[in-house]
Structure 1
Amino acid sequence: MQEAGINQKDDTVRLVRWLSEHPKIQRRLCESEFESTPEECIEMIEMLEKNSFYDMIFILLIKNSHDLIINEAISKMVTEKITNEWERIGTEQMCRDIKERIRDEIKLNEIRGDKMF
């Protein structure tokens, strides 16, 4: 367990160093006023992937999900993944999973009191 903490710390230091060497990417990832075009997103994904910063790819996509092209790409990808899972587990299980997920979200919404933060 301690080794995992050390590795995470090393990864964090490595990420911070890398971002300081790539200020344009840092701004596009961290600052809300800096938006990225879909082409820039592809470029940044490739750079993040090359450096094994996979979790930052998710952050980049979520931050830029308001872009119509990015949003459509994410939506299509999610639909394809759901379809693949549906075929794998079958209709009955998928329906159970969907209902369970909705129930979980209802409970979370009640706990949060309709507030996200």
Structure 2
Amino acid sequence: MALVGDGGFLYACGELATAAQERLPVTVVLVDDGGYGMLRYDFTHRDEEPLGCDLGSPDFVALARSFGVLARRVTVGELGPAMADGLASGGPSLLVLEAAFTPPLTTSPRWYRAQG
């Protein structure tokens, strides 16, 4: 099981090829918020205009399928059963969850500066 954001995933999406080739039993949950959500949060938390945070996203489901990886879009409500299906498949799978979450306070090293 792996949980990744869309921005970070794009740095190494070719790893899907390895997962497919080796038939690795990993289910990837990709949270798609259209960019670098943590950086966007840092900007907005400081009442600044976010710069360089929004990304043009590919069709992640089609990308995964092009490597032969099972993939589908899911809602938060569908996530549990979809994760169980992915893990039960015995091979790689990708679940794309379109959502924007507020990151927990401890995940960004810059947040302590914004508290003042």
Work out whether the TM-score is over 0.5: no
The alignment's TM-score, normalised by the length of structure 2, stands at 0.24
Structure number with the higher strand fraction is 2
Structure number with the higher helix fraction is 1
The alignment's TM-score, normalised by the length of structure 1, stands at 0.24
